[in-house]
Every structure is written in structure tokens, then in C-alpha cells.
């Protein structure tokens, strides 16, 4: 019995379609913007707090001043002890409230830690949409605290 007009796709046709879909995905996927998730924002805040705590501990341990550079324009926080750098992505709002002067010297975008554990203080705020974290350095004790809070209004 002869079959006339079979319906369906061959394996070769299916493989070609899958290959085309994979090619289009490979070209378009890098163009899709990657948004910072809530968990990732919290991780950035924890990394910033850890970097600050590490610099404070280094100042106490070494008996020297250690200055952590906080640069919202460059979207970076750099350790004064280890030169480790934390980069904050562009979709995260990055604000810093830093002292203008510290120990009768211009502070220039740094949070300074001293051998006795004290600091001139400062606050770093990271926020995105409905999530925000604030990392505070107490000026008297040098203690670093991280709190979640309502995001800053635009």
C-alpha cells in the first residue's frame, strides 16, 4: 500500500529550527538589560559593610589610620587597607553622606578609621525601586551598622 502525502516534520527540519532559535537568543540575550535583584542589592550592602569593617580592623591591628574611599560618581568603594574595590551597578542609586573635615583636615570622599577604633563617620545608601540599605559608620565608636529602610525619594 502506497502512502501519499505524509504529514509532519523531519528530524533535520526540527534541528534547523532549534538552531535558528538558539542563534537568535545568543544574539539578543546580551542586549537584555540585567536588573539588580533585591537579594543582589542586599549583597552589595553586605559587601560594603564588610569592606568598612575590614578597614576598621586593619587600622586597629596595624596601629595606623586607614581611609576607605567612597566615590558615588565612579560608583565605587575602595578599601584603604587591601585596595579591594566594590563596584555598584548603574541601576542602583548610590548616595553617600561624608564629613567635609576630619581631624582638622579635608576629608575628600573618605571614611577614615583610626588606631583606637574611632572614625569620623559617614553613611552610604544603596537603593533600587522599593528596597534600600543604609550602612552607617558611627563617628565616635567606629561601629558599622547596616539597616534596611525606605528608599530615598527622587
Taking the CA atoms of residue 103, residue 147, residue 74 and residue 86 in that order, the dihedral angle to the nearest 10 degrees is 100
Burial 11-23 (b: 16+ CB within 10 A, else e): eeeeeeeeeeeee
pLDDT band at 153 (very low <50, low <70, confident <90, very high): low
Contact 151, 127 (CB under 8 A): yes
Give the pTM.
0.74
Contact 132, 150 (CB under 8 A): yes
Q: Quick: pLDDT tens for 101-115.
A: 877 777 678 999 999
**Extents of the domains making up the chain:** 38-149
Q: What is the mean pLDDT of residues 137-150?
A: 88
Q: What percent of the chain has pLDDT over 70?
A: 90
In CATH, what number does 38-149 get? 3.55.40.10
pLDDT band at 29 (very low <50, low <70, confident <90, very high): confident
Contact 109, 70 (CB under 8 A): yes
8: left (phi over 0), alpha (psi -120 to 50) or beta: left
- How high is the pLDDT of residue 5? 61
Average pLDDT of the chain to the nearest whole number: 87
Amino acid at each position: 500500500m502506497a502512502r501519499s502525502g505524509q504529514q509532519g516534520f523531519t528530524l533535520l527540519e526540527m534541528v534547523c529550527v532549534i538552531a535558528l532559535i538558539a542563534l537568535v537568543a545568543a544574539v539578543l540575550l546580551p542586549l537584555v538589560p540585567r536588573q539588580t535583584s533585591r537579594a543582589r542589592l542586599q549583597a552589595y550592602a553586605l559587601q560594603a559593610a564588610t569592606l568598612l569593617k575590614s578597614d576598621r580592623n586593619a587600622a586597629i591591628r596595624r596601629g595606623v589610620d586607614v581611609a576607605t574611599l567612597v566615590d558615588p560618581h565612579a560608583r565605587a568603594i575602595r578599601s584603604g587597607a587591601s585596595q579591594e574595590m566594590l563596584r555598584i551597578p548603574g541601576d542602583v542609586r548610590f548616595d553617600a553622606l561624608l564629613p567635609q573635615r576630619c581631624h582638622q583636615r579635608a576629608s575628600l570622599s573618605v571614611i577614615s578609621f583610626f588606631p583606637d577604633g574611632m572614625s569620623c563617620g559617614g553613611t552610604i545608601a544603596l537603593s533600587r525601586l522599593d528596597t534600600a540599605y543604609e550602612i552607617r559608620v558611627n563617628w565616635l565608636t567606629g561601629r558599622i551598622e547596616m539597616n534596611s529602610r525606605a528608599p530615598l525619594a527622587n
